[in-house]
């Protein structure tokens, strides 16, 4: 990928959703600070990565966040979502991921085992490779 870097944050592989971080290679704080051609290509790459995440993790819907209050480097949070992934929290199990209690979200028991993580990485790499070769 020419315009971005893609990372998975193991500490937040929780419940039924994952946190996937998509970083811009240029240090900017706002999307509108990117040159128009770079911005278009960056967003196309982000969309391609989101599609790969969607298929690799069996998402029913993707949530996208471009925040930056804590880290001002331009980055997206990509959340693959599934029906009722908040369980007893939210509005009948639906809502933004931050409605899930933080003490549970960051609990080590919500992290995948090394074997599960390897399977997830393999599935995601396969989906990314499909899209990069298109």
CA distance 44 to 52: 12
For the chain, give every domain's residue range.
Answer: 4-132
- Directed axis angle between helix 36-56 and helix 114-132, to 10°? 130
pTM of the model: 0.83
Give, for 37, the enclosing helix (H) or strand (E): helix 36-56
∠ Cα 24 57 73 (to 5°) = 15
Could you read off the pLDDT of 63-117 as tens digits, one per residue? 999 988 888 888 888 889 988 888 888 888 888 888 888 888 777 777 778 888 8
User: What is the fold of 4-132?
Assistant: HIT family, subunit A (3.30.428)
Q: How confident is the model at residue 1 (pLDDT cuts 50, 70, 90)?
A: low
């Amino acid at each position: 990928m020419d315009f971005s870097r893609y990372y998975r944050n193991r500490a937040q592989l929780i419940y039924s959703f994952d946190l996937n971080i998509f970083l811009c290679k240029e240090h900017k704080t706002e999307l509108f600070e990117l040159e128009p051609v770079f911005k278009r290509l960056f967003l196309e790459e982000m969309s391609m990565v989101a599609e790969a995440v969607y298929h690799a993790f069996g998402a029913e819907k993707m949530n996208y966040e471009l925040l930056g209050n804590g880290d001002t480097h331009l980055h997206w949070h990509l959340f693959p979502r599934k029906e009722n992934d908040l369980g007893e929290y939210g509005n009948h199990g639906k809502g933004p991921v931050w409605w899930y209690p933080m003490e549970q979200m960051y609990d080590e028991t919500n992290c995948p085992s090394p074997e599960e993580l390897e399977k997830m990485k393999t599935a995601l790499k396969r989906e990314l490779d499909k899209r990069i070769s298109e």
